[in-house]
Amino acid sequence: MAVSTLATRIYRSRLKIPSLLIQTVGVREGWGRYRGPSCTYSLARHFSAAKLKSEQFSDVLQISDSCTQRLKEIATNDLPFLRICVEGGGCSGFQYKFDMDKTINEDDRVFEKNGAKVVVDETSLEYVKGSTVDYHEELIRSAFRIISNPKAEHGCSCGSSFSVKID
């Protein structure tokens, strides 16, 4: 199915994907040009009384050794863990956001490996389950990234955005 056909179908039916409400959909083409309706994605945050759990990454996510090493280097008492969030935007529809943080909310899941902590909210976790959190260094940039995401269909060349597989 062509992307524009799928976008039109989603737009007309106001299709609900788990924990995601697509208000209006457009297709981004090339260097920021849009065709079709304007593009506005909105993640619907569900604030439930979810219990905080400390889990091993093997249960939901994998964490690379380079990510663990880097988190140990940069974590401080003021900002002790990495927060991963999935937001609407980017080249492909959704983008990963990485921030050092100190606040744990009710809908957060806490993961720990060798003393390095990563926090993901329940909504974002649905989009990164089965993935690997990595830290990658190259000449032009060094950054945390999500690799091997089974929920992502396409991604941009920089690895910061992706589109969701629709079953």
Does CATH place domain 49-164 in 1.20.1250.20?
no
Q: How far apart are CA 65 and CA 85, in angstroms?
A: 21
Exposed, middle or buried by CB within 10 Å (0-12, 13-18, 19+), for 104? middle
Please write the tens of the pLDDT for every residue from 60-115. 888 999 999 999 999 999 999 999 999 999 888 999 999 999 999 999 999 999 99
Please write the tens of the pLDDT for every residue from 100-114. 999 999 999 999 999
Q: How far apart are CA 3 and CA 166, in angstroms?
A: 12
Q: Which of 102, 110, 92, 112 is nearest to 163 (CA)?
A: 92
Question: What is the CA angle 17-34-154, rounded to 5?
Answer: 50
Position 157 scores a pLDDT of 75
Q: What is the token pair recorded at 58?
A: 């093997």
Q: Cα separations (Å) of 117 from 18, 21, 49, 158?
A: 26, 29, 21, 24
Domain boundaries, the chain: 1-44, 49-164
Q: How far apart are CA 15 and CA 27, in angstroms?
A: 16
